[in-house]
């Protein structure tokens, strides 16, 4: 299927590797231009080298308000519009309620919820002038069922879904679509590093996934590119799980 994104411009955040990189790669393969960001110039240089001439980067720490403002100023200096925004950031640290300090909660709030709020606010003027604009929030299966020992992620990602569903009503009439994608286990560098010395945990995780394997960043990227593209023009306010059947709820 032609996603009709050739020549369009997408901002894909936290994309020097992992899920974000998978999305940038899928969009570039369809002929789109991508602007990616993350914290380190060196990893961004190597990512854009692999992505090729349709990509460029800006350095940005998504937990910092001023960095997000500067990112969108930089983007606005090179284009008068963007066709899509993929909202993604690093994950907050694990921990149960009794382990977490006030400071850790506030840091996670900035990284997970406020990065989504700020990216949306700063990007809206650039999206408003595009033909078929769309925002896709990357969250987690944890918005459907909590994951053990991930108090911060379970709490703050659900708030992103609350914002997305409310935005669907508020900005749908302006023609900007909003959706969320909720990954289960996708075998990114981070997941690989996390489970590298723990093959029994990896086997245990896989045994609970009906498809019998983790997903790949390429699979995640292709579905995200579809949701960002004009081909999904009537999908709005939706949450899509990409989890190989891991979520067992009926709805």
Q: List the beta bridge partners of residue 7.
A: none
Q: Which of 110, 124, 228 is nearest to 160 (CA)?
A: 110
**At its nearest, how many Å lie between ligand NAD and the CB of residue 210?**
16
Q: Does 221 bind ligand NAD (CB under 6 A)?
A: no
**At its nearest, how many Å lie between ligand NAD and the CB of residue 46?**
11
Q: Does 55 bind ligand NAD (CB under 6 A)?
A: no
Q: Does 137 bind ligand NAD (CB under 6 A)?
A: no
Region near ligand NAD per CB under 6 A, out of 4-12, 25-33, 59-67, 163-171: 59-67
| Of the candidate residues 25, 30, 61, 83, the single one contacting ligand NAD (CB under 6 A) | 61
**At its nearest, how many Å lie between ligand NAD and the CB of residue 105?**
16
User: Please, is 14 exposed, middle or buried when counting C-beta atoms within 10 Å of its C-beta (0-12, 13-18, 19+)?
Assistant: buried
- Cα(193)–Cα(230) distance, integer angstroms: 35
Q: List the beta bridge partners of residue 86.
A: 12, 136
- CB contact burial 60-95 (16+ within 10 A = b; e otherwise): bbbbbeebbeebbebbeeeeebbbbbbbbbbbbeeb
Q: Does 84 bind ligand NAD (CB under 6 A)?
A: no
Q: Does 152 bind ligand NAD (CB under 6 A)?
A: no
The tokens describing 92, both together, are 């907050």
| Nearest to ligand NAD of 130, 225 (CB atom) | 225
- Residue ranges that bind ligand NAD, judged by CB under 6 A: 14-20, 38-39, 60-63, 88-91, 111, 138, 140, 183, 185-186, 188-191
């Amino acid at each position: 299927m032609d996603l009709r994104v050739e020549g369009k411009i997408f901002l894909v955040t936290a994309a020097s590797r992992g899920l974000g990189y998978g999305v940038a790669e899928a969009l570039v393969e369809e002929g789109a231009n991508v602007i990616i960001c993350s914290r380190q110039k060196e990893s961004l240089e190597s990512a854009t080298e692999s992505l090729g001439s349709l990509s460029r980067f800006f350095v940005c720490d998504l937990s910092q308000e001023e960095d997000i403002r500067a990112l969108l100023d930089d983007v606005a200096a090179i284009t008068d519009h963007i066709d899509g925004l993929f909202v993604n950031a690093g994950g907050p640290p694990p921990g149960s309620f009794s382990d977490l300090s006030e400071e850790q909660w506030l840091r996670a709030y900035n990284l997970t919820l406020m990065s989504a709020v700020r990216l949306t606010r700063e990007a809206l003027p650039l999206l408003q002038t595009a033909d078929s604009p769309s925002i896709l929030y990357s969250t987690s299966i944890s918005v459907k069922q909590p994951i053990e020992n991930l108090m911060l992620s379970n709490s703050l990602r659900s708030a992103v879904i609350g914002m997305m569903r409310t935005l669907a009503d508020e900005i749908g009439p302006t023609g900007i679509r909003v959706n969320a994608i909720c990954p289960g286990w996708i075998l990114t560098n981070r997941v690989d590093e996390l489970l590298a010395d723990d093959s029994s945990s990896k086997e245990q995780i896989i045994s609970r996934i009906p498809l019998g394997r983790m997903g790949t960043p390429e699979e995640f990227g292709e579905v995200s590119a579809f949701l960002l593209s004009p081909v999904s023009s009537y999908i709005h306010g939706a949450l899509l799980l990409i989890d190989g059947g891991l979520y067992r709820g009926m709805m």
